[in-house]
Amino acid sequence: MGRILCVANQKGGVGKTTTAINLAAALAKSGQRTLLIDLDPQCNATSGLGLAPTERHALVLRKPLREALLDTRVAGLQVLPGSRSFQDVEVLAQGEQGESSTLRQHLATGMNAFDFVLIDCPPSLGPLTQAALAASTEVLMPIQCEYFAMEGLTQMIQVIRGVMQRQPGRLEFGGILLTMYDAGLELTREVENEVREFFGDIVFDSVIPRDVAVSESPSHGLSVLDYQPRSRGTRAYVELCQEILNR
């Protein structure tokens, strides 16, 4: 099985889904067979690639997952679409601490065709995010370059460490990603220095800049790499992709 990256942060508006979409596209364009799983009931990872959410999430239905995967306009990238069904959310979250985890079972048996699986989580520390962490091999945490960037990270890391203790040797820190980066702002530089000083090597060298192309691309159902191939945002996600491939 390939690498399974859980893209998670309990705060909303930090670029979590944007990162999941654009990193998945960059990995696919680099030749990696890639799957994006939408676990957020808001289903933005699904709609952001021009696809429609499903009435029931495929992970709770008793049929082969390959029948539920949707192709995207990016060669090599498929999506397991999200569902806004709260009933499905409860089912998916069951058993996150045990071997019966629905999500982990599917990833263990049905995802061998992929080099990378990215899981877009809801903005919370609830059972669904914990189930995704338990099913993953790495966790990637986007944080916004703002005053409250460090707020809540301690709780997130405690949850991650709890999963690591229950499953020794499986989940690793994939890295912390600075998003909405504006080098012209003193606050951005202060946040970056603080995060890098505190967390060290687990912070990615790549940063994601504030870029209107990144903000606009989901409304066109495209990754920023396809919407504005020469934008700063595209360059940043390509650099992040290369950094992940080299780790």
For the chain, 247 residues long, give each residue's pLDDT as a single digit of tens: 689 999 999 888 899 999 999 999 999 999 999 999 999 999 999 999 999 999 988 888 877 888 899 999 999 999 999 998 877 777 776 654 443 456 777 766 667 789 999 999 999 888 888 888 988 999 999 999 888 877 778 788 888 988 888 878 789 999 999 999 999 999 999 999 999 998 999 999 999 999 999 999 999 999 999 999 999 999 999 999 999 999 8
Q: Superfamily for 3-246? A: P-loop containing nucleotide triphosphate hydrolases (3.40.50.300)
pLDDT at 1: 66
Strand partners, 175: 140
pTM of the model: 0.93
Q: What is the enclosing helix (H) or strand (E) of 102? A: helix 102-110
DSSP of 163-223: HHHHSTTT-EEEEEEEEEE-TT-HHHHHHHHHHHHHHGGGEEEEEEE--HHHHHGGGGT--
pLDDT at 100: 41
The alpha carbon dihedral of 119, 223, 57, 2 has a sign of negative
Tell me the domain boundaries of the chain: 3-246
